[in-house]
Each structure stands twice: as C-alpha cells, then as structure tokens.
A and B are shown apart, each in its own frame.
Chain A
C-alpha cells in the first residue's frame, strides 16, 4: 500500500487509537477529512483544539465542564436537594438524554473493585459526603450499573449515608422498554419479579 506523508501517517495512527476505530477505518476517516478539508477538517481541528484547551472536570460534581463548574451545577433551575450518583460521565449523559431528572449529579469516576484494589478513597465518595453535608441534599439517587461492582459500590454508599438524614434510593431493575421476556436473562426476570407493582 502506498504510504501517505509522515504527518498523515501520524494522524492515522492517532485516529486508530480512538474507540471504535482500527488502522483501516482510521485511514478511511483521515482520507475523508482530507477530502473535506475546508468543510470538515479545519473546523474539526479548531473545535478539538478549543475543547482540549478548555475542557476540565467540574470542581463540584466531576462532570466535564468548560469552566470550573459545569452547566448543570451552575443552572439555578436544577433542584439542589436531589443528587444522582453515577459511575462516569457517559452515564450522566445517558441520564440527561432521558430528560427525566431535574436535580444535580455526582460522578464517582469508577466503582469499587475487589480485584483491582479500587477503594472508596480512589473514587469521589468522600467528596459526595462533603456535598451532602454542605448543599442541603435530601435525596441521593444511586444510578449505578446492575453489576457486582456497581451494586457493591451502591451498597457501600448507602451504608456511608446512614444516619446523615438523607433518603437513599436506587434506579429500578427489570424489563426494559421493548424487552421481550423470552429474551431476558434469569437475573433480570428475578429482579423484575421482586420489584413488581400493583397494576
């Protein structure tokens, strides 16, 4: 295969490190960008440079922000008495897509892991406890993954919040929208049955 210039090869190598891309798809993407230099590559490069310059972690919740505080924490219309605890920023974005939650968030940055020796101090748990004490929070919603590590973390946080005067809730587990029982795993069916409600 003919080699592009060194700079383009470097760009392909960098693109190939992105999730979802391999060397061949990175090469295709770079070729597409070069063909659309003015319309796509230049604005993309400028935007990436700007985001690289300004993006940082929100000092309050751990979300990605353009300044010290993210838009959600800075928004006065958001309910300050409810905090939704999520594992990472991707989960926060997923919750925001649902447009159902009007409170604020707290991003842990991972979950407790017995095998990887990730403890509470490695996550944003101490900071969460500080926020609850200082921001007058009345409800903490644990929106953590329904995995062993996710639920271990949820139970740990629930324990840590005991006696602090806040209501601790968690997302329901069960049949997803559009889900067919025949295709559900045993664990989900068990959880759904345990969480059944009057119809």
Chain B
C-alpha cells in the first residue's frame, strides 16, 4: 500500500527515541497516522509541528498497519507561534479534528473549510474568530449533527429566526418560540449571514456550537470530554471582549 497526499499536521508524538507518530489531516485520506523515522531529530522538529502544511508519503505492507510516513514541508505557518489568539485557535482546531474525526475517512468538504482557517492562523489575519465559528458549524454538519438554520421549526417562516432548539438543532423564530424562548439557544445573526459578528454574537455562536459539540457529538464518540483547547480559546475570546452589561 502506498500513496501521497497533502494535508496539515494535527499532532506529533514521540515513538521510541528517534521516531515520531504523526497525525495528519489529509485531503484525500482524512485523518491519517504514520510513523516518521527520524521524526525526533532536530532537523525534522521545525517541520513536524501542528499546523504545518505538508506532503505525506505513506506506505505499509498491509492497509491496517500504521505505516511509515515521509513528511515534506509545504508551508510552515510558523507565524502562529507569536500570536497568542491564533495559537489558541490552532490548538482548538487541531484538537477538535483529532477528537472528532474517524481515522482514514476522507472529508474533502471539511478539509476545504479547514485549510483557509489554518492559513488565517499562520498569517495572523484578523477576523478569523467568525471563520472559526462557521468552521465549528461545518464540523457538526460534516459529522451528521448539522443545524438547520433555514426556517422556523414551529411556524415554517424564514424571517425573524432568533433561536435554535437544543434537541433538534432547528432554528426557531421569535414568534414561534413563545414561552419556550428561555429554553432555546440564542441564534446570532452572524450565523444567518447578516453582517459581521459583534463580540456578543460570537459568544452566542460559540455557546450554540459548543452545546451541540458537547451534548450531541461528544457523547456519541465515547466518554472523553471535549478537548480543553476549545474551552481555552472561548475563555480567551471572552477576555478580549467581556459580555456587555
């Protein structure tokens, strides 16, 4: 078995004294692991960092083997190391992908959403928090927990959508919510494509996606809690812009 693909490193673990097990989110082979001989060397250290865009040559005698990987750098994205928020974002993305994606299952749509986000972290671009929020929605969608934000679950209207049902993941309008509003999750306008996100909208959006990641996705994946890296990112975003009032 042998293939070559491109992707981004999610994690690197030492394997013995000289090698490393590298986990890469690839375009055509999904989340894939491989043993990199000499991966613990100083020469490889700069390449084998989470967030690095790489080409991965993988080969194994049998498909079920972990296999040997040869990694070549395509882009380092090392700019992220000097940007505190981008670093938190990178950690959150890598750990959520590592946590939620099954091994060796291609997710081309999610890959296409994730690469620009990694690039934004690496270039320390502004405005990535909204892209990150939409990426979390994309993760839910890709893994079968997508939210339906097109129309109200109660009235069918497409106007005035203001909440999401924590059970069904469907949008609910202000009128349709009625007395149930307190039990529903607020739906920020930025997720309906209505203008840029304010800090409060970002916060509401992360509460919304966090709820579905934590209460719908995570329980189906076993007993592990959501990665701590996401909570650190959310806390840091809140510190940047504390809740109004």
Using a CB–CB distance below 8 Å, which chain A residues touch chain B? 19-20, 114-115, 117, 119, 146-148, 151-152, 155-156, 158-159, 173, 185-188, 190-191, 194
User: Which of B73, B80, B84, B88 has a CB less than 8 Å from the CB of A186?
Assistant: B73
Give A9 to B81 CA distance when docked, in angstroms.
48
**9 closest A-B pairs by CB:** A187-B78, A114-B229, A185-B46, A187-B76, A155-B84, A114-B95, A186-B76, A114-B91, A151-B81
- Give the number of residues in B that approach A within 8 Å (Cβ atoms): 31
Q: Give me 8 other A-B pairs in contact (C-beta within 8 A), A159-B84, A187-B79 excluded.
A: A148-B50, A148-B51, A152-B87, A155-B84, A185-B46, A190-B76, A190-B78, A191-B82
- B47 interfacial by beta-carbon distance below 8 Å: yes
Contact B227 A114 (CB under 8 A): yes
Q: Total A-B pairs in contact (CB under 8 Å)? A: 67
- A152 and B91 contacting across the interface, CB-CB below 8 Å: yes
- The answer to whether B228 has its CB under 8 Å from any CB of chain A is yes
Q: List 26 A-B contacts (CB under 8 A).
A: A19-B17, A114-B92, A114-B94, A114-B95, A114-B227, A117-B227, A117-B228, A119-B228, A147-B45, A148-B50, A151-B82, A152-B87, A155-B87, A155-B88, A156-B232, A158-B84, A159-B236, A173-B81, A185-B47, A186-B76, A187-B46, A187-B49, A187-B76, A187-B77, A188-B78, A190-B76
Interface of B with A (CB < 8 Å)? Answer: 11, 17, 45-47, 49-51, 73, 75-82, 84, 87-88, 90-92, 94-95, 98, 227-229, 232, 236
